[in-house]
Structure 1
């Protein structure tokens, strides 16, 4: 079962090697501490569930949780807004080609985003995302801050070629 999968993925085994015991060599990162340093900026948020109220829409509440995943080499967050009416998952990883962080966001709305995450400090980030599969919105920018145990997000959407302020959330940790 594993050998056909390995072959389908374009991985080859030398004669006498078994797919179950053969592991790919670790990928060399030019500066492995850079990846760890960038991902560590998420540490104030990790392992907690955060609840936030929309600053523009009445009675819209979002909950988000951040975790380390992939052997601590990635950040995974999942969120649920409006009691689960809208959900999304984000995966953030180090990109050795650029030396920065990239993110992938999948939604229950049937669209997704891809882009970069610029680390400004612990809990502070700028997201630049291209939107795929959502008519009318081309891109999203978001800035986050983390101060006094409040995680804030403010966002803008590129709509018909113009950046529009679209609100955000103020999150606090919950039990």
Structure 2
């Protein structure tokens, strides 16, 4: 009886003739598209960035980027004008769109949804539809990270036309 069980166990673990056993995963597999896209945020992670508005003197914004959802998303939390305006952005991979998507909720009572295109490490283009804010249909922003300065420049779509709205230049808070 015991020898019959051993034979059965061996047969269950033996590949069928003509088939190979599954290969072990490669030791250094290439990152998935989601991992590669989210890795572009790595230079921004784990730091608080403080930036001054380029159009509104004295307006300061602080933003922090971190991985969330088991590393499957990026969360950006910011607070401007001493907390008078705040927002949280969640950025994740959308397998159906084969790209990054984002959701931004604000203390102003509106939110945005859209796409995030990776241009390089710390460099992105955001295309966002605005929901719940009369007068602004969409927001477009470009970010760069050069020489330790994270820059955001944005435009708003108002009545179908794109209007430059300024931006911020951020440096890491020591």
- 1:40 maps to which residue? 39
Q: 1:83 and 2:82 equivalent?
A: yes
- 1:162 maps to which residue? 161
Summarize deviations over 1:150-175 as a string: whole Å, max 9, x none.
00000000011110000000000003
Question: How big is the shift at 1:98?
Answer: 1.1
TM norm structure 2:
0.82
Summarize deviations over 1:42-67 as a string: whole Å, max 9, x none.
00000000000000001000000000
**Runs of 4+ that moved beyond 6 A:** none
C-alpha separation between the residues in 2 aligned to 1:68 and 1:98?
A: 21
- 2:171 maps to which residue? 172
TM norm structure 1:
0.82
Partner SS, residue 71 of structure 1: helix
Summarize deviations over 1:5-49 as a string: whole Å, max 9, x none.
xxxxxxxxxxxxxxxxxxxxxxxxxx9710000000000000000
More helix by proportion, 1 or 2? Answer: 2
Summarize deviations over 1:60-83 as a string: whole Å, max 9, x none.
000000000000000001000000
Kindly name which structure, 1 or 2, has the bigger radius of gyration based on alpha carbons.
Answer: 2
- 1:96 maps to which residue? 95
Unpaired segments ≥5 residues, structure 1: 1-30
Partner SS, residue 83 of structure 1: helix
C-alpha separation between the residues in 2 aligned to 1:161 and 1:95?
A: 27
